[in-house]
Structure 1
Amino acid sequence: MLVRGIRGATTVTTNDADEILLATTELLNKIVQENTIDPEQISHVWITMTQDLDATFPARAVRTIEGWELVPIMCSLEIPVAGSLPMCIRIMLNVNTDKTQAEIHHIYLNEAAKLRPDLVERTQTLS
């Protein structure tokens, strides 16, 4: 068994706690669904947000999902690169799995689909 990173990102339209929590939950649920993940498989979760989002910790959304209470989660700010995508939440799940890199489905929702169109197209083709 290997540890594989599964990436995902999404955007919100406002710096609002409820919107951030909803978007984080939606993204995580889609990653879990597309990759058939059980919380027991997860080594840890890394979540970042752009500096224009500070209304809440996105980890709060993960903590409300049954079975995820003990999964280690860390939140951080993205590096503030000029011209980068604003209002963006990114997730990296590190999962213990027998899947190959090619079998992993990375998920990019909303405006974040612009970040990795190659992976968005690949995931849509595999689904």
Structure 2
Amino acid sequence: MYNRGIRGATTVLQNEEQEILTETVILLREMITRNEIEPEDICSVWITMTNELDATFPARAIRQLEGWDLVPLMCSVEIPVQGSLPKCIRLMIQVNTEKSQREIKHVYLNDASKLRPDLAISKN
């Protein structure tokens, strides 16, 4: 068994509570579905948002999902780098798995697909 990191990112159109919560859940569900993982396998989830997003804690959305009440979650502000992608939410899931690094499927949705076009999936 290995501890692997699964990266994911998405964007929102507005600094609005419900949109941040909704997009966080969409991203998380896509990450766990594509990687076939269960909350019990997860060590922790690190969540960052760009500094203009301050309407809510995205961890709130995850905490409300069934089976996620004991998964450690941490929110933080992304480093404010000039020219970086705005209105971006990033997740780093640390998971116990038998999968190799190459088998891990990272997920980039919405405008975040620009960050890693080689890893982006289409959600149209």
TM-score with structure 2 setting the length: 0.96
Which secondary structure state, in structure 1, belongs to the residue aligned with residue 29 of structure 2? helix
2:92 corresponds to: 92
> How far apart are the structure 2 equivalents of 1:24 and 1:64?
12
Distance 2:68 2:11 in 1: 23
CA distance, structure 1, for counterparts of residue 108 and residue 119 of structure 2? 8
Which residue pairs with 2:27 in the alignment? Answer: 27
Q: What letter is aligned with 2:8?
A: G
Output one character per residue of 1:83-115: Cα deviation in whole Å (capped at 9) or x when no partner: 000000000000000000111000000000000
For residue 118 of structure 1, report the CA deviation from its aligned partner: 1.4
SS at match of 1:7: strand
Cα offsets for 1:62-83 (capped at 9, x unmatched): 0111000000000000000000
Greater helix content: 1
Paired residue for 1:67? 67
Instruction: Give 3-state SS (helix, strand or coil) of 2:24's partner.
Output: helix
Deviations 1:32-81 (A, max 9, x none): 10000110100000000000100000000101110000000000000000
Letter in 2 for 1:25: V
Q: Which residue identity is paired with 1:96?
A: N
CA distance in 2, matches of 1:51, 1:12: 13
Identity of aligned residues (%): 63
Tell me the amino acid that sits aligned with residue 73 of structure 2: I
Count of paired positions: 122
Find runs of 4+ consecutive structure 1 residues off by over 3 angstroms: none
Structure-1 separation of matches of 2:76 and 2:60: 13
Write the letter of the residue equivalent to 2:32.
V
Q: CA RMSD in A?
A: 0.9
Unaligned runs of 5+ in 2: none
Tell me what 1:11 maps to.
11
CA distance in 2, matches of 1:70, 1:32: 16
Superposition TM-score, scaled by structure 1 size: 0.94
Q: Which consecutive unaligned segments of at least 5 residues does structure 1 have?
A: none
